[in-house]
Chains A and B, each alone.
Chain A
């Protein structure tokens, strides 16, 4: 595949590792502790586990898996809202497959579907719009979630619905924004991060400039990274070079996809349809100011929040669930009380176990725990 296979070459990975090792040794000696780098994006978490990159990197580099998995940070109350919509008569509720297993307070979308609600997985919001055209007597609702990466696709779908005069389509908007999230992580007092791998696909929309505050105010290096193994390794090397030279900058390793100014057409569609919410509730992280968007009033005809009356109840995370501490890197996934026992990918309790981009699911699936952490295999499998 073009520009995929080239970025998986093991020989080049070794070449990068040869550059990385001495820089890590030097820095660790100066600091007297391991280096902590956070990958913000769940896509990177997935790539790191899939290719075993953490095992390739020197032991003294700790990768902290950040909050950038939109499925993982979805609060239970929002899942309950989805189910309340889906269980209305005459509704076809559509969603990306990732969200099907996320537990609500009573059930997941998958369980609601089994009980008879018309819930369908789609690949694209445009597929949901097609369903609306084919089923004019039904209300087709699309569950919009994701960071800026996915926002343009739902915004453009709403604009298309408006253009074609399709009125039986609506969006349940749960989009979240990356910048306030990174700020919340940086303001967390129990955190000691040395640098960030920046989210590649969010950045192709918003560009690299919105991250400048990470380097300027918080004095942390940040490298916007691609998702292939060489992309991740090269980005780690770039962060290490910055640390070694005492620089704090926002650099772009993923120039083949990410232009510095982002995507103008995409941003235009997003700002036409969406506006910032005062705050948004996150699973594990609590409420973060201005971290979500809702639909503008001018698009109320396509806004599921306006079309349906929603329970909109705030539901606390289960007490035994420690997703929040894992998200902030305070504890490792396997240090959670329910990891691999009450909480597994088949029957997740916490959201981090749900999506393949969630760090608990990744640890569970790729079995890193067995190797490093002295938990007997039978307890985790």
Chain B
């Protein structure tokens, strides 16, 4: 029950009730945006923003820069591994040809 699902705000439906239409995997649902709108900011500024939706509420903005930096770190690990594999393979290969 504590899981959330990412969605993108497509329109503001009812500013008084703080409801936006959010596209979650192609399905649009009304979601309350009270927790992701900074005080004083216009509701329209949320359009296009990715949010984490939990029980009908947008509970957090998805920080794209943070997501990309985590993915970049993982990609780097993967590349390093590939390089290590290549080095190991070349060492094994040269040992093989030497014997």
Contacts and interface: CB of A to CB of B under 8 A. Distances in A.
Interface of A: 1-4, 6-7, 9, 11-12, 14-16, 18-19, 41-43, 46, 68, 70-71, 96, 98, 123-127, 146-147, 149-150, 152-153, 156, 160, 199, 201-202, 204-205, 227, 230, 234, 253, 255-259, 263, 265-266, 269, 355, 357
Given A1-B6, A12-B74, 15 more contacts: A1-B25, A6-B67, A14-B81, A15-B74, A43-B2, A70-B2, A96-B55, A98-B1, A146-B1, A152-B57, A153-B32, A256-B62, A257-B52, A263-B36, A357-B1
6 contacts: A19-B77, A43-B2, A71-B1, A124-B56, A255-B69, A357-B1
A2 B70 CA distance: 14
A227 B64 CA distance: 17
A258 to B, nearest CB: 7
A174 to B, nearest CB: 12
Interface of B: 1-6, 8, 17, 25, 32, 34-37, 39, 50, 52, 54-57, 59-60, 62-64, 66-67, 69-71, 74-75, 77-78, 80-81
A12 B63 CA distance: 21
A150 B66 CA distance: 24
B74 A16 contact: yes
A126 to B, nearest CB: 5
Contacts of A14: 81
A268 to B, nearest CB: 9
A256 B66 contact: yes
